[in-house]
Amino acid sequence: MKPIKVGLLGAGTVGAGTFNVLQRNQEEIRRRAGRGIEITMVAARNLDKARAVVGAGVEVVGDPFAVVNNPDIDIVVELIGGYDLPRELVLQAIANGKHVVTANKALLALHGNEIFAAAQEKGVTVAFEAAVAGGVPIIKALREGLTANRIESVAGIINGTTNFILSEMREKGLDFATVLKQAQELGYAEADPTFDIEGVDAAHKLTIMSAIAFGIPVQFDKAYIEGISQLQARDIRYAEQLGYRIKLLGITRRTQTEGKEGGEGIELRVHPTLIPSSRLIANVEGAMNAVLVQADAVGASLYYGKGAGSEPTASAVIADLVDVTRLATVDPYCRVPHLAFQPNQMTDVAIVPMAEITTSYYLRVYVKDQLGVMADLTRILADAGISIDAVLQKEPGDQVNLDIILLTHQTREKNIDAAIEKIEQLPAVISKVTRIRLETLS
């Protein structure tokens, strides 16, 4: 059987890794796919660099549309990144009847519904294992391995940059700015790290996992996103003293909503989170990723590994190439649906507004050390229907002010918002209240 011909868009870190792993393990991959898989054409901005990667036997061009419109190409692998140009290229590839493999989580989070609909209509596959958690096969697990289950929740450390920063802050007691600079020097963080440190990258990935887990359209615009740039070293230290660690988590789960009719909703949120230090996911350190899935039949399962990098991501790209190669001759209606559900079987369960989320909270209130402050705090919380689980008082360095740390029992976000507004109006309160959400993940 003749080999599948692949066109590669992008010959950067992941593109080069994909080519190298495919070449190195070509015999093993051929046996597993049932036929050969060959990259025969590459589009790149830096032609000389791309030629140095792929050698003389592969055609290298500067125009990515030349790859997408080449009738000899069976599968297009999109590794460019970004939104607009990749969307045009992917839709053109689909219109030309080509299968697509992509590692572009931003593209799918924003334009996935359009892309999947076009692919369904044309009878081609769009595969995207590499778009979430790099080499960790979480997409296949959610879409196929757990297909017998009703998935209740997905919670993940899905950005290696932020996990590295938080790990270093905890272990070395350094502040955020210092560790971010180190992360950039080591190559863990980009020159412009905004998408990573502000939670946007994690939200892209979470949006995709949520769609697969619950059979809903991708809805990135409804995700709540909060990053780690405002975290202080002392909050990480206080959390540790209370038996918790702080991680940037993406959380999506089924929940019950309030209202006239009530009913089921889906949480979709990314934010720093206190996790009991005894939990496995709390001990995921450095640039590693981990995703915890809670399902009705299998219970809790944890997926752990490298979430980025040349060859870990290439591993996922090539796994998709093998899957698409195996399915190339299968009737489109018999293939695994892109989001695990057929388009006409998607549900319209609403994303729950952040104000209606129920969880526990860590509150740090920086106050003047004077009588009556604690009584005022407990009164405001009690008036909002919020009960206190634990209290810690610390002197942050000066002798006239105090950090008061409160852990609450579960309450709705809107209740804590109202309480914080009143707390910040107290004369003894010096600065804004630091609020970090808390999840037991049990």
Spatial contact of 106 and 81, defined as CB atoms under 8 Å apart: yes
For residue 347, name the pLDDT band (cuts at 50, 70, 90): confident
> Is there a catalytic annotation at residue 205?
yes
Spatial contact of 291 and 278, defined as CB atoms under 8 Å apart: no
**pLDDT (0 to 100) of residue 260:** 43
Beta-carbon count within 10 A of 157 CB: 28
Q: Where are the domains of the chain?
A: 4-136+310-345, 139-305, 357-438
Encode pLDDT of 111-142 as tens digits: 999 999 999 999 999 999 999 998 999 999 99
**pLDDT (0 to 100) of residue 230:** 95
Residue 271, SS3? Answer: strand
Query: Average pLDDT, whole number, for the chain?
Result: 93
Among 110, 413, 111, CA closest to 255: 413
Average pLDDT over residues 92-102: 97
Q: What are the two backbone dihedrals, phi and then psi, of residue 197, each rounded to the nearest 5 degrees?
A: -75, -20
| 396 has pLDDT over 80 | no
**Angle in degrees, CA 201, 197, 357, rounded to 5:** 70
List beta partners, residue 287: none
Q: CA 421, CA 195: separation in Å to the nearest integer?
A: 29
Helices 373-383 and 413-423 pack at an angle, to 10 degrees, of: 150
Among 51, 69, 52, CA closest to 60: 51
In this structure, the strands spanning 99-102 and 75-78 are parallel
**pLDDT (0 to 100) of residue 334:** 67
Amino acid (1-letter code) at residue 342? Q
| 83 has pLDDT over 70 | yes
Annotation: CATH topology of 357-438: Alpha-Beta Plaits (3.30.70)
Q: CA 242, CA 407: separation in Å to the nearest integer?
A: 9
Encode pLDDT of 265-283 as tens digits: 999 999 999 999 999 999 9
Four-way CATH pick for 4-136+310-345: 3.40.50.300, 3.40.50.720, 3.40.50.1820, 3.60.20.10: 3.40.50.720
Among 170, 130, 186, 168, CA closest to 307: 130
Encode pLDDT of 282-313 as tens digits: 999 999 999 999 999 999 999 999 988 899 99
Beta-carbon count within 10 A of 378 CB: 15
Four-way CATH pick for 139-305: 3.40.50.620, 3.20.20.70, 3.30.360.10, 3.30.70.20: 3.30.360.10
From the list 205, 222, 368, 394, the catalytic residue is 205
In this structure, the strands spanning 299-306 and 288-295 are antiparallel
Q: CA 209, CA 175: separation in Å to the nearest integer?
A: 32
